[in-house]
Every structure is written in C-alpha cells, then in structure tokens.
Amino acid sequence: MYQSQMLINGVQVSSLSGKVEIIRNPANQEPVAEVTVGSRQDACLALEAARRAFPIWSLTSRQERAKILHAAADLVRHRAEQIARLLTLEQGKPLKNAKMEVLSSADVLDFYAEEGKRDFGEWISSSHSRSIVLRQPVGVAALITPWNFPVDLLAWKVGPCLAAGCTFVAKPPSLAPLAATEFVRAVSDAGLPAGAANVVHGAGGEVGAELVENPISRKIAFTGETETGRWIMAHAAAHIKRVSLELGGQSPFIVCADADVKAAAAAAAQRAFSNMGQICISVNRIYVAEEVAEPFIEALVKRAERFKIGDGLQPDVDLGPMFSGAQREKTREHVADALEKGAALLSGGQEPEGEDYEKGYFFRPTVLGEADHSMRVMREETFGPVAPIMKFKTLEEAIHLANDTEYGLAAYVFTNDLKTALCAAEGLEAGGIGINVNNVVDLQAPFGGWKESGLGRELGHYGLEAYLETKHIRLGM
C-alpha cells in the first residue's frame, strides 16, 4: 500500500506519536494508502522549520526564486501522472480531471514565478522628504485547504507565498492528503531551502488549529467551509494575523429570455454536475425566464442524463463517486427536503443501479423543477450534483432572488443583450460574475467572495499582495 508521510524541514517524517490512518477509495472503499497523522507538536516543529528557513528564502533574490518556481512547475508536470492517480484514488474524480488539476497547478507556479519579479514598490517626492514604499514578505504562512481540489487550491497559495518570499506549513484535508503532499514534495525537491515548504497531516481541529493559533504563523490562507473560516478569523485575531478566506458558495445561474438556450443548458449542466457538484463555484440555483423555461429544462435534463458515471480510473468516465458517505447523505437530504416542499423530480434523485455502483458513493445528476426559496437546495450549500430550477418574469426579480443569500462567490448570466448583461453584472452581489461562461476562474484575474463567501482575493497580482507587507521608508532631504 502507498505510504504518505509528512514533510518537515525538507525531510519526509512520521509523526511524533507514530499514529497512522488508512485512506479509502470513494469509488469502492478499498484501502489506498497509509497516512502519517500528526498532532499539535508536529505542527510546532513544522512552524519552527519554516521560521528558520524564512530569512534564507526571503533574502534569496526574486530572480533566483523565479528560477526555482519554474523548476518546481517542471517537476510537478514530470510527476503529474503519479500525482493525478493518487488524486483520483483518494478523491474520486475522473483521472482526466485529476490530471488537468495537477497540470493547472504547475501553471500557477509558472505564473507566480514571473509575477514575483514585478513587485516594484513606489517612490514618492514631498517638499522636504522622499518616500520609498517597499513590499516585503509577511513571514511564515499557514496554508489550509479542502478535499474538493486539494492540489489546485493549494497551488493557488503555494505559488504566491513562495514568490513573495514567505515560507509555509501546509495542512491538506485529512481524508485526501496524498496528492497535495506529493505536490509540495515536488515543489520542495526543485531546490527550496530545507524548511521553506512543510506539510503536516492531521485533524483540522488540532493541527489546523495550532497553525492558526501559534504566533509563528503571520498569515493564514484558508479555503473551506464558511463555519471553519469564521473560527479561523476569530482565532487569528488573537495575534492580528493576515487572513485570506475562500469559503462556501451558493451560486445562481440566470437564463434570460434572449439567451442561447442550448448553450446555457450545456454550461449549467457542466458546472452543476462536474466534480459531482463539489465545487465552491458550482451552479447551485437556476433562474430561467418563463418564455424559455420549457426548452431550457428539456435540454438540461438531456445533458444530465448523458454523463457516464463510474470509477474515476476508467478512461471514459465523466463523473466519479461523491467524496464521502456524509457528502452523499447531505445531498439526499437536500433532495428529499425539496421534494417534500413541492419540487418536481425531473432527473436523477438517487444512486445509479448496478453492481459497479454498490460499494462507492455514487449519485445521479439531479434536476429539480418548481424550486423555491423555502427549500434547503436553494439556500444552503449542497455540495452535490443537484440543479434546482425556478422560473422568473423580470430581470429585476431574477437579480433579487440571486442576491437573496448570505453567500457571494460566483454568479452566472446567459443573455445575448449587452445592456442586460451589464445591468445583471452590476446588480449581482458576488466576487465573480460569468457572462455566457460557466467559470469565473482565470489565473490572471482576482478570485474570491463577497459577504460570507470570503475575504481577500487569490490569483492574479491580487494573490501575491496577500503575502506582502507594506513598508514606508521616509528620507529627510
């Protein structure tokens, strides 16, 4: 069986307690790997290693840091097959998607290798003085990530963190730590000083909490549930730490009367069901103009029934299992709640039948009609493959419904009218608005949430700023 250890001070290590846990494949519950499980003490050792490495890495020139980050990207690409296979085995996603995730994480490292060189500072002249404004690395960062995109979401943090000159301790999700650990190992092997990149496994409430509470970390970059983010923000306050929070979402998808209905249905199906709906910017609620509701729903149901479901290691599979039994149970509960409150089941609603599906956490893509805001699927983050649909009469009504949530991560609008598109984009309360696209992620542009979906931005030059402090040097003339 595959063995996964932690990475502390450049060395692969077991935990002080020697504790291990078994990781199981969500497609069949077979054991996949034995993982070292750390504790608060292991987290402290990793933080101390990162603190010792900080003066070395932060004083390494930007050009040299860029070279090492490019080498890290190459190494991740070189090991992509192996890392992707681990990702499918622990998380369930189809191998082709796992590979895309690993390769895109290498692109993130390349991007920040160059972005790190472009942090120029400022020069300001006053009558009796000159001001130099410097940007310097914030210090040791704690990088805490979830299981749905364990490699990519970690790369979004590792890239800017290292480019800025910070060192880090990463805490991958307890139930899917394998690929993330291999990713950091590849980055470390590319020539980082020992201790610049560390990984500690273990429970969020213990290892994660130590990384947040210990005064050595000066910056917490977190992706995960809003509740966990709230806890982290409160506890980071004890030492006034910098925090970036990428939290939950409940993303609306508006289909206007003048939209290309087939394109909208294809886009909605892909973003509602890929990764089994376990995406923070997944389509969670669909609002469709009454005039085009019938052809849109028909096209969406057709799309939902076309996906091939199965073990992610099979080459032709579109959707793997859900990540865990708990995740599938929550999805079932949300569907049952909607049906009780009057929704119509248009497709899916249960696990697929057959021997191949008996042991895994499979679930069919589910389309619900006649949805309304009394239903949990329309208000909470299901994090499952469910697309509930509600009809609207006017754009104002659609925007009002879309904003009726405490979340604000992404929102989508399909229309062929520029004025409608801009009115909707200006009125929607979310950090990312997709117009005639079903994805608001672009490596060069800011990503993050409004309201309870988060704080701060990742990606683009915004991602780098999150790891930099500002210093004003005033020179008397």
Tokens representing 372?
């309304």
Applying the rule CB under 6 A, the residues between 420 and 449 that interact with ligand NDP are 449
**Are the CB atoms for 371 and 388 separated by under 8 Å?**
yes
Interacting stretch for ligand NDP, rule CB under 6 A, among 65-73, 110-118, 132-140, 145-153?
Answer: 145-153
CA-angle at 273, arms to 269 and 279, nearest 5°: 120
- Draw the binding track, 203-222, toward ligand NDP (x: CB under 6 A; -: no contact): xxx--xx--x----------
Q: Over the range 143-167, which residues count as b (16 or more CB within 10 Å of their CB) and which as e?
A: bbbbbbbbbbbbbbbbbbbbbbbbb
Q: Which of 44, 166, 256, 280 is catalytic?
A: 280
CA nearest to 386, candidates 441, 432, 452, 330: 330
166 is catalytic: no
Among 38, 365, 432, 454, binds ligand NDP (CB under 6 A): 454
Among 152, 311, 381, 452, binds ligand NDP (CB under 6 A): 381
265 binds ligand NDP (CB under 6 A): no
Applying the rule CB under 6 A, the residues between 272 and 301 that interact with ligand NDP are 280
Q: Taking the CA atoms of 47, 149, 381 and 31 in sequence, report the sign of the dihedral they define.
A: negative
Q: Which of 115, 182, 246, 452 is catalytic?
A: 246
CA distance 310 to 151: 22
Among 21, 74, 225, 429, binds ligand NDP (CB under 6 A): 225
Closest contact distance (angstroms) between CB of 465 and ligand NDP is 17
Among 68, 89, 144, 402, binds ligand NDP (CB under 6 A): 144
161 is catalytic: no
Applying the rule CB under 6 A, the residues between 10 and 69 that interact with ligand NDP are none
Among 15, 88, 198, 228, binds ligand NDP (CB under 6 A): 228
414 binds ligand NDP (CB under 6 A): no
At 280, the amino acid letter reads C
Closest contact distance (angstroms) between CB of 146 and ligand NDP is 3
CA nearest to 9, candidates 256, 242, 196: 196
183 binds ligand NDP (CB under 6 A): no
**CB closer to ligand NDP, 234 vs 473:** 234
Residues that bind ligand NDP (CB under 6 A): 144-148, 153, 171, 173-174, 203-205, 208-209, 212, 223-225, 228, 231-232, 246-249, 280, 381, 383, 409, 449, 454
Q: Tell me which residues are annotated as active site.
A: 246, 280
